Amino acid sequence: MAEVKIEIDAMGLAVLNRRLNKLLHKAKNLEPVWEDAADYMVRSTVNRILRTKTGPDGERWAALSDLTIQLKGHDRQLFESGDLYRSVHVEDVSKEGFAIAADSDHASFMQDGVNTVRGKYRSKKPSPQVPARPFMGFSDQNVREISKMLREYLAEGGD
């Protein structure tokens, strides 16, 4: 039969107590790590718009239609004037978490897409359809990176 014996002297107990108190203090105020995580998510979101052209799930966005390319004069998805990527910002940070937002006029249309509207009256012209090209959200890589930030903050790297 295996036996485990643990001995803690008064000095070791004092050190353990200090470390636990420090950990509890940090766990009650995660705002510093949430600030870093929010900034990281803004950078990640802008990177999706400008470079990777993928959603948080890793799926590439639908290609632009030939008509859209003709109208825009280029085939860059989610980019016309730069308003969308410049509108991505940290909206709120607290000890509980953070929020980022994109507040350009067309952000929700790009994120969620636009479907044909079917109403009582139908126009002879087809309604515009825009496929969803999600750019906001957490990828698996984002979750891993933010988890790493939390672990490092709680281990030593915080206040």
Asked if residue 107 is part of any domain, the answer here is yes
Angle between helices 140-152 and 31-47 (to 10 degrees): 150
**Domain count within the chain:** 1
pLDDT of residue 3: 87
- pLDDT digits 0-9 by tens, 84-132: 999 999 999 999 999 999 999 989 999 999 886 665 555 566 666 889 9
pTM for the full model? 0.79
Does a structural domain hold residue 97? yes
For residue 18, being part of any structural domain is answered with no
* Domain contains 24: no
Nearest residue to 80 via CA among 49, 114, 115, 48? 49
- Tally of CB atoms within 10 A around 38: 20
* Mean pLDDT calculated for residue range 129-156: 94
Phi, psi values for residue 55, rounded to 5° = -80, 175
Q: What mean pLDDT value characterizes the chain? A: 88
DSSP, res 130: B
Structural domain includes residue 9 = no
Instruction: Note whether residue 137 is domain-resident.
Output: yes
Which range among 41-45, 78-82, 124-128 shows the weakest confidence by mean pLDDT? 124-128
**The domain containing residue 137 runs over which residues?**
30-157
